[in-house]
Structure 1
Amino acid sequence: MRIGELARLTGTTPRALRYYEEQGLLRPGRRQSGYRDYPPQAEHTVRHIQLLLSAGLGTATIAEILPCVPDGATVLAPKCPELLDGLARERARITETMAGLAAARNVLDRIIGA
């Protein structure tokens, strides 16, 4: 499929898809005309990328995770156990950040309520 169709199916933009390609997250083929040609499973890959980005992961980390996701999987379930420790550390970092933000919000609540 071409870039516009993949963008439409995944609710993203062609620009984002080109960025994912630049980051090594997508590897489309090329038609004789030079247009990108995405395989059907690219839709699932893009959805996984979007999910991982929404979780706060960077593209370098996502590039490590994607090869561990079964082809065509609709649920992100890494098949590389060595990644689970890294994901657990990232989750702990996010939890710590959330606690810090909650504390900051509580200070603001006290100031506003004063």
Structure 2
Amino acid sequence: MSRASGTDRLLRVGELAALTGVSARLLRYYDNQGLLAAERSPTGQRLFHPAAAEQVRYIRSLLEAGLPTRVIGELIDCIYEPGRIEPCAVPTLVEHLNEHDQRIAGMLSTRAALQGLIDSSSR
């Protein structure tokens, strides 16, 4: 198997899946979307640096925050440490937060209208 910098052994997609709890299929998708960098073995297998495990955790946390992979691709270079986003990510995150706030406001308005209809039926 190939070697990365130093003595870090590159991981096959199945090994990375076992380390992260993310399916090999999703890891391939992340690679295809440019969210993870994989080298290729002479037989064409994806090989990941061990640091990719942390990158997968970042990706998962951003997905849990409601960001689509397209946006994660834009932000991936703004992530250097676990739990810390660099200032370059803030404008994009603020934009998505504002979008969510608008959706919430719309849902609250819809809820109020529905509650009004329910309340008027009891009169």
With the shorter chain as reference, the TM-score category is 0.7 to 0.9
Q: TM-score, normalised by structure 1?
A: 0.80
Residue 89 in 1 paired to residue 99 in 2? no
Question: 5+ residue gaps in structure 2?
Answer: 1-10
Which structure has the highest strand share of the two? 2
Q: How many residues align?
A: 110
Distance 1:100 1:32, change over 3 A: same
Structure 1: tracts of 5 or more residues without a match: none
Length-normalised TM-score, structure 2: 0.75
* Equivalent residues of 2:78, 2:88 under 8 A apart: no
Give secondary structure in 2 for the equivalent of 1:37. Answer: strand
User: Which of the residues 12, 15, 25 maps onto 1:2?
Assistant: 12
Equivalent of 1:67 in 73, 77, 80? 77
1:43 alignment partner, one of 49, 53, 56:
53
Using the TM superposition, give the Cα deviation of residue 111 of structure 1 relative to its aligned residue in structure 2, in angstroms. 4.8
- Give matches, 1:14-29, under 5 Å: 14-29=24-39
Name the aligned partner's letter for residue 5 of structure 1: E
Tell me the C-alpha RMSD between the 2 structures.
2.0
d(CA) in 2 for partners of 1:57 and 1:65? 10
Q: Distance between the aligned counterparts of 2:18 and 2:114, measured in 1? A: 41
